[in-house]
């Protein structure tokens, strides 16, 4: 004897509601995709500070590796010895070395 295999009809998973969902998702991706792709971070330009005129708070905020005490030392040195002639003169301040000067060279300027 042979067995007869009866197969059940295959139900389609494609329905109108699935089609609507697919269209809605495609529209969201098409509209929002370019918006999110354009959100690249803008490079931040470091602040430039005149080391002959800036106060301690400005120096501390603008220069890497310079906190309140080093900024105060810069201002005190400038008051005692007169204005800096070049950015490299900043290394003469106690607590400020060549590394600090080199790390902040693009952030500093010297004008009389």
**Which fold, 49-109?**
DNA polymerase; domain 1 (1.10.150)
Q: How far apart are CA 14 and CA 11, in angstroms?
A: 9
Q: What number is the average pLDDT over the span 9-29?
A: 75
Q: How far apart are CA 18 and CA 99, in angstroms?
A: 63
Helices in the chain by DSSP H: which ranges? Answer: 16-37, 56-62, 68-81, 98-104
Tens-digit pLDDT profile for residues 61-87: 999 999 999 999 999 999 999 999 999
Share of the chain above pLDDT 90, in %: 54
Confidence (pLDDT) at 14: 64
Q: What is the model's pTM?
A: 0.60
Confidence (pLDDT) at 17: 78
Rg (CA), the chain: 33
Q: What number is the average pLDDT over the span 3-13?
A: 66
Comparing 73 with 13, the larger pLDDT belongs to 73
Average pLDDT value over all residues in the chain:
83
**Position 6 pLDDT exceeds 60:** yes
Confidence (pLDDT) at 90: 94
Residue matched to tokens 């109108």: 16
* Burial of residue 91 (number of CB atoms within 10 Å: 0-12, 13-18, 19+): middle
**Position 112 pLDDT exceeds 80:** no
């Amino acid at each position: 004897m042979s067995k007869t295999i009866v197969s059940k009809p295959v139900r389609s998973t494609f329905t109108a509601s699935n089609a609507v969902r697919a269209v809605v998702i495609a529209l969201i991706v098409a509209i929002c995709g370019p918006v999110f792709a354009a959100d690249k971070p803008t490079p931040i330009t470091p602040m430039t500070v005149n080391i002959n005129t800036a106060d301690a708070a400005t120096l501390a905020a603008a220069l890497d590796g310079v906190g309140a005490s080093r900024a105060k030392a810069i201002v005190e040195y400038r008051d005692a010895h007169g204005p800096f002639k070049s950015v490299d003169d900043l290394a003469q301040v106690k607590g400020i070395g060549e590394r600090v000067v080199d790390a902040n060279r693009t952030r500093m300027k010297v004008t009389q």
